[in-house]
Structure 1
Amino acid sequence: MKISAEQKLGNGNRVILVKRATPNSDSEREEYLFQELRELAKAAGYLPVGELKQTRYPDSKYQLGKGKIEELAELVRSIGADKVIFYNRLSTTQLFNISEICKCQVIDKFQLILEIFAKRATTHRSKLQVELARLRYEIPRARAVVSLAKKEERAGFMGLGDYEDSYEQDLKKRIARIESELESAEKDDESLRALRHKKGFSLISLAGYTNAGKSTLFNAIVSESVDVRNMLFTTLVPTTRALDLGGRKALLTDTVGFIEDLPHWLVDAFKSTLNEIFLSDLILLVVDANEKPEMILLKLATSHDTLWDRIQGVPIITVLNKVDLVDESRLDSIMEQIGYMAPNPVFVSAKKGIGMDVLKAEIVKHLPPWCFCSLSLPNSEEGMSILSWLYDEGIVHRVEFGEQIHVDYEARTEIVNKAHALLGPKEV
């Protein structure tokens, strides 16, 4: 294998990427998943200097065949790689066996994602979530980790039992402590959401497969500038901004992206962050329209699998982004293939600002409905105070001043009821 000048500048981050494919699996999809591994490695700051693939059913000791693992070990030596990263999930025993032969650190895709999350965690809560995910990943492996690391120190059969029990109990105590702290933060979030609803804000979340362009779309909708990079998991800490919808008050939140086959322990650890999506009034599900239909369907399926059991009937708008890169006939063909998985589709280019008005109109259409009402207010200081309040809490369409103030307005049901209650039985 040729080694480029760039590859010689590894600085301890030189990695070999490995993936085992199941016989009869789709070769195009397998290549796409390998490309995703490359992008994950890049996001974690690694420099891939070699790749290895094998098609076979998994080997219980090595994931790959023993001969392929020996080939991997030779590749590690010849290239001078610092680490090996497997796409496939590895058991503790497989990690140990492979690292023993390759004489370097070995991790799998899920450990790689944890590394990325740890690097991107900037708030106390996100750091707690990363730590919780790491502990939940480690807990089922705890006994095997200790046994393998200490196997040469065993005094006899099961000689490490007490130590293993102590290590596992320590992990469980740390998990319980972090869960308690995150539960407290979650209650604060629920109170904040309730307050925002009370103040008349509709809650909208951006969701979708990682690197679909959510942050770029966020910037285009709210005219802000949050971090946008062509890299997986750019957004880890949710960002919320006010959104102008022609009088309707809304808050838009940019959230962490999804990825195929995210394990439950990782989703659960980020529950308080993902609740920004699950408890929204409306979800904008963003996909990259410039990908092949098969890949779009794969990503839509992953997103729906993550959302479906938790959103309890929350409406979804499918935002097909990057349409500036797709000609109209191809877009029609794509929709024929993915339409059944793409509710309420809207076509935009966040980068070019195309389709923003259409998207906002579709958002208003799917927000919780407001009532249209008319009121007659006393032409007095009290009436002017109520009118001012209506301007704050809803959309005032018409005001006519005379002996009374006649108002046509639109607002949430609770605001309409409160306005009538303020006027009492004299209101007509």
Structure 2
Amino acid sequence: MSRDETHRVNDETPTGEGLRAIVAARDVDTTPDTAEIRGLAAATGYTVVGEITQRRREDPTYGLGRGKAEDLMRLAAERDADAVIYDGELSPGQTYSLGELLPAGTAVVDRPRLVMERFTDAADSRAADLQLELARLRYELPRLREAIARDDAEEIRLRPEGDRRVLDVERRIESAKRALDGITDDRAERRTRRREAGFDLVAVVGYTNAGKSRLCRRLADDVDGSGESSVAESDECNDGENGDPNDGENGNHDDLDTVLATGDRPFETLSTTTHEATMDGRRTLVTDTVGFVDDLPHDAIRSFRTTVEAAREADCVLLVVDANDEPGTIRRKLRTSLSTVEETAGPVVPVLNKTDRLDAAELGTVVESVETVVDGARRDGLPVSGSLRPPVPTSAHDGRGVGDLRATVADALPTATETVNAPNGSHTESALSWAYDRGIVDGTTYTADGVRVVLAGRPAVVAEATRRFERS
């Protein structure tokens, strides 16, 4: 679905490029910090020309109190703003009411809508487009219902069977869900094939701008050591269509694509992208994922399920934290990440990135902040809390700590060891070749009677290798 088709749901939704915006923010306890929402707005193409902040409880009509909402109206008129960007989620009713108060032609863009606009700019695959379409349609549907219910000129009150436009959006939601289900099934099959080929799966997750993409390239086997460029395998290139059915076997991956270096921009990575990486002798596929962000509605998070699935199904998860954030910000972002992932099949290793900018005392403060969140997650009974490991300091910029991280990942991966004795012969050589192809041979000793092989790696792969040797 094109951007124009997407915005038929709400014709006043702007596309940020070249538009002037006023930022509005409210917080109950403190004066709002608008740095992050300004960064999101700028990354989406808006020019921020003013802001209104308020410290008070949420107003059920406008989000802001009536007085501040009127201040916002006057500032928007004075600065000739194309949009008001609200740092938080507005209900359909609040969105409509605030839009009615603002000057004609000034659109209301709350935080979830802004994030989805930014996602649209970064989308580079069919899977990403489908996830975006689903998130946008789920977001817009209740707002369309609100607009229809309030629009006296249309003389329509929504009936149970729904207005034609509502039914159209509902049909598009079901269509996107069906298409995305097919891609999800293909990914599950791909994960199975890659594990059978001896690869361990590692997912890299975390708040946006934590440095995940650079860390992935630092870990990858196909970089020059700087982490600035690589050739990586994009899980989105084929979306499971027309791919080699033997994908992942013998180290072959047919969905290779060039991935450019990323900088500190929100949502620079949208598609999940996978690199081959060796972790202390273990062959892994490390998947870079979409950055998390606060205050996305549940439906939007659910729509971006490829990122969450990559984490939940991985053998190990690297949860990347920007160690240069303030302690309170680190705690907030870490809680957001843990709450979004919810639970994982494998262990979760917090990675304190960008530590090249910190001294020992500052790093100690960061570690304490992480430990505070981990302790809180355990007290609250979050399922993911039982998977958490001690944090590992790193710097994707200069490589410090990356060796320790590789060792930590290798130690966290599921491992089985087995020693087999097999006679000399073609069947043994075939089994040995199969085991070498999957990277699970830890040592071989040839004797007059045959060969002694030490196997170490994924339990299922070691078990299959043992079976092959026993047939020799």
Q: TM-score, structure 2 length as denominator?
A: 0.80
Aligned pair partner of 1:383 in 404, 418, 428 = 428
Q: Which amino acid aligns with 2:457?
A: A
Structure-1 separation of matches of 2:160 and 2:309: 39
Q: In the aligned structure 2, how far is the partner of 1:163 from the partner of 1:92?
A: 20
Q: Distance in 1 between matches of 2:17 and 2:219?
A: 40
Distance across 2 between alignment mates of 1:364 and 1:82? 52
Q: Does the residue aligned with 1:358 lie in a helix, a strand or coil?
A: helix
* 1:219-234 map, 5 Å: 219-222=217-220, 223=223, 224-225=229-230, 226-234=260-268
Partner of 1:53: 53
Correspondence for 1:106: 108
* 1:194-273 equivalence runs, <5 A: 194-222=192-220, 223=223, 224-225=229-230, 226-273=260-307
Deviation per residue, 1:228-275 (Å, 9 max, x gap): 121111111010111112432210000001112221111111113421
Measured in 1, the distance between the counterparts of 2:457 and 2:161 equals: 63
Instruction: Point out the structure with the larger helix share.
Output: 1
Q: What are the superposed Cα offsets for residues 370-398 of structure 1, whole Å, 9 maximum, x if unpaired?
A: 21x33333223333222222222213323
- Note if contact 1:397-1:410 (Cα within 8 Å) is conserved in structure 2: no
Q: Is the 8 A contact 1:142 1:168 kept in 2?
A: yes
How far apart in 1 are the matches of 2:143 and 2:331?
Answer: 34
Match of 2:146 in 1: 144
Provide the rounded CA distance (Å) in 1 between the counterparts of 2:352 and 2:158.
55
**Hey, what does 1:287 align to over in structure 2?**
321
Correspondences of 1:11-410 after superposition (within 5 Å): 12-22=18-28, 25-27=29-31, 30-31=32-33, 34-103=34-103, 104-148=106-150, 150-154=151-155, 161=159, 164-222=162-220, 223=223, 224-225=229-230, 226-308=260-342, 310-312=343-345, 314-341=346-373, 343-371=389-417, 373-393=418-438, 394-410=440-456
Give, in whole Å, the separation in 2 of the partners of 1:246 and 1:331: 26
Q: CA deviation at 1:339?
A: 1.8
Amino acid at match of 2:350: T
Shift of 1:175: 1.0
* Amino acid in the other structure paired with 2:344: I
Percent identity between the aligned chains? 35
Letter in 1 for 2:181: E
Whether contact under 8 Å (2:422, 2:470) holds in the other structure is no
| Counterpart residue identity of residue 406, structure 2 | K
Residues 380, 301 of structure 1: CA spacing in aligned structure 2 closer, same or farther, 3 A cutoff? same
Cα distance change on mapping 1:399 and 1:216 into 2, 3 Å: same
Structure number, greater radius of gyration: 1
3-state DSSP of counterpart to 1:272: helix
* CA shift in 2, pair 1:412/1:279, >3 Å: closer
Q: Bigger shift: 130-139 or 219-228? A: 219-228
Deviation at 1:168, TM superposition (A): 2.3
**CA deviation after TM superposition for structure 1 residue 50, in Å:** 0.5
Of 332-341 and 314-323, deviating more is 332-341
Return the letter of the residue paired with 1:13.
L
Tell me the C-alpha RMSD between the 2 structures.
2.2
Aligned pair in 2 of structure 1 residues 219, 420: CA closer, same or farther (>3 Å)? Answer: closer
How far residue 63 of structure 1 moved from its aligned partner, in angstroms, is: 2.0
TM superposition score normalised by structure 1 = 0.88
Mapped contact 1:247–1:395 kept (Cα < 8 A) = no
Segments of structure 1 that go 5 or more residues without pairing to the other structure are 1-9
Larger mean Cα displacement after TM superposition, 238-247 or 104-113: 238-247
**Structure 2 unaligned regions, length at least 5:** 1-15, 224-228, 231-259, 375-388
State the AA in 1 paired with 2:197. Answer: K
Aligned residues: 404
| CA separation of 1:277 and 1:411: change in aligned 2, threshold 3 A | closer
Distance in 1 of aligned mates of 2:144 and 2:277? 47
Q: Is the 8 A contact 1:61 1:97 kept in 2?
A: yes
Distance apart, 1:405 and its partner CA: 2.2
In structure 1, give the amino acid aligned to 2:460: E
Query: 1:95 and 1:339 mapped to 2: Cα distance?
Result: 38
Compared CA separation, residues 376 and 62, structure 1 to 2 (3 A)? closer
Partner letter of residue 182 of structure 2? S
- C-alpha displacement of 1:12: 4.0
Distance change in 2, residues 1:162/1:347 (3 Å): closer
AA aligned opposite 2:52: L
Q: CA deviation at 1:162?
A: 8.6
- Is residue 464 of structure 2 the alignment partner of residue 418 of structure 1? yes
Structure 2 distance, partners of 1:392, 1:163, is 58
Deviates more, 1:205-214 or 1:412-421: 412-421
Deviation at 1:354, TM superposition (A): 0.8
Change (3 A) 1:247 1:55: closer
Inter-partner Cα distance in structure 2 for 1:247 and 1:240 = 18
Q: What per-residue deviation string (whole Å, max 9, x for no partner) do you get for residues 314-365 of structure 1?
A: 2011100111111002212332343243532111010111111111000000
Secondary structure of 2:266's aligned partner: coil
Deviations 1:51-103 (A, max 9, x none): 11122222232222333222222212222222111113223333233223322
